[in-house]
Structure 1
Amino acid sequence: MRNLRKELTPEEQKSAAKALKINISQVIKDPKNARVGTYISNDGEPSLDYVFQWLWQNKATPFLPILHPFTQVHLLFQRYEENSPMTTNRYGILEPELNCSHVSPVAALDFILTPLVAFDSQGNRLGMGGGYYDRTFAQIPPDASHRPKLIGVAHQCQHLDALPVASWDVPLDYIVTPERIYCPHR
């Protein structure tokens, strides 16, 4: 699945990024003041560059994941601005330089856009294998009065009929591709 997305041409990736912005705006209907977990694309993942511009133009606040400096197995989400100082983590992925005053509790985010390797129509995602997102999402109390909507972002070629599901896997509320929006639990 990773090879399929990496084989997309730069033109296909750019077209996908534009279409994703349109489809994501159908899920995040009122972005004003929304706190949105996002990501910087890597390894052929769909780019969110157009989504970032749309969020900033609509007075939403994007947050980027950072590998937790102490636990090493969770993610922190830090506010992301166009001029945020960036660093490369141990996986070669760009993330903001840690600034604790810009970190948001995961449960305080309204939406989290998450990359994935593969997905199915039931809202299951296959990540890169580290479990960072699932462990981070598991920290949200099940009885929380506010829970972020979890939105997987992928190319359509990453869709599979079914994925194996483990007890720790956290299902997605939506999956957005350039061609389609999946709402598995509706």
Structure 2
Amino acid sequence: MTELALLPRPQLRRLLRKARRALTAAEQRQAAKGLFRQLAQDPHFRRAKHISLYLPTDGEIDPRLLLREAQRRGKATYLPVLSAWPRTKMVFQRIRPGEKLKPNRFRILEPRANLARQRKIWTLDLVLLPLVGFDDVGGRLGMGGGFYDRSLAYLARRKNWRKPTLLGLAHECQKVERLAQASWDVPLQGTVTDKAWYFLD
């Protein structure tokens, strides 16, 4: 998709969102199973004790099999929760199996805010992020709200970091030859699809 990389971000975002939404329900189920096979036995997942995931929307690849597997193995699992104030902030809150969720202002399910169960992102071992587009050098195109960018802004000031490991999750149709990076973008350490790993050493 070399020609896509030349498009302005808003136009590229629209095209890639349309591509993932065009996947059938059967294709989405197969992709979720493929993603599970790629990650469930990987050392990044096996060794992590505190893992943040997300609940899929808008055609995003579905990590819920991984969420359930992490809980089955006794790992602490977290979901992003939008802050009521400031409205630009996102926190990470532990979720328990079977917990009731509510839709946020973007109609994405999340747990009810509970300060006692929230954790700073730099104390997590692994963060599995949704994305709209990616390349094979750690570039990530998000939905445009900047929630993950703001949460990870502290990493832009560090040349090296150990935690958390940042892995994007995506369908193969979301891959772009090269994404133009903005000054606030924090590179991923890799992106995983249902078919392949794009990991940076």
TM-score by length of 2: 0.86
Residue type of the alignment partner of 2:131: L
Counterpart-to-counterpart distance in 1, 2:145 and 2:56: 17
Q: Structure 2: how far apart are the matches of 1:86 and 1:68?
A: 15
**In the alignment, is residue 142 of structure 1 matched against residue 152 of structure 2?**
no
Confirm or deny: 8 A CA contact 2:45 2:126 kept in the other structure.
no
Q: 1:38 to 1:29 in 2, by over 3 A?
A: closer
SS at match of 2:152: helix
Secondary structure of 1:160's partner? coil
CA separation of 1:114 and 1:13: change in aligned 2, threshold 3 A: same
Q: Deviations over 1:82-134 (max 9, x none)?
A: 22231111111111110111101111100000000000111100000011101
Question: Contact (CA 8 Å) 2:67, 2:77: kept in 1 or not?
Answer: yes
User: Hey, what's the Cα distance between the residues in 2 that align with 1:7 and 1:81?
Assistant: 32
2:71–2:97: 8 Å Cα contact kept in structure 1?
no
Residue 109 (structure 1) aligned with residue 127 (structure 2): no
Q: Secondary structure at the match of 1:14?
A: helix
Q: Partners of 1:106 and 1:144 in 2: how far apart?
A: 16
Correspondence for 1:54: 69
Q: Is the 8 A contact 1:107 1:146 kept in 2?
A: no
Deviation at 1:74, TM superposition (A): 2.2
| 2:22 pairs with 1:16 | no
* Amino acid corresponding to residue 75 of structure 2 in structure 1: A
Deviating more after overlay: 35-44 vs 82-91: 82-91
TM-score, normalised on structure 1?
0.93
Q: Does 1:163 align with 2:164?
A: no
CA distance in 2, matches of 1:52, 1:63: 9
- Cα deviation, 1:31-62, whole Å, max 9, x if unaligned, reads 4x610010000000011121112101211111
Question: Within 1, Cα distance between the matches of 2:90 and 2:17?
Answer: 22
Separation (CA, whole Å) in 2 of partners of 1:37 and 1:138: 17
Partner of 1:42: 57
Correspondence for 2:13: none
What count of residue pairs does the alignment treat as equivalent?
184
Q: 2:150 aligns to what SS in structure 1?
A: helix
Q: Which runs of 5+ in 1 are unaligned?
A: none
Q: Which runs of 5+ in 2 are unaligned?
A: 1-15
1:122 paired with 2:137, answer yes
Counterpart in the other structure of 1:176: 192
> How far apart are the structure 1 equivalents of 2:45 and 2:130?
20
Identical aligned residues as a percent: 35
Letter in 1 for 2:129: T
Partner of 2:4: none
1:53-76 C-alpha deviation (Å, 9 max, x unpaired) = 210121111100011222221210
- Give per-residue Cα distances to partners, 1:4-56, cap 9 Å, x unaligned: 1111111111111011012122252424x610010000000011121112101
Q: Aligned equivalents of 1:139 and 1:95: distance in 2? A: 24
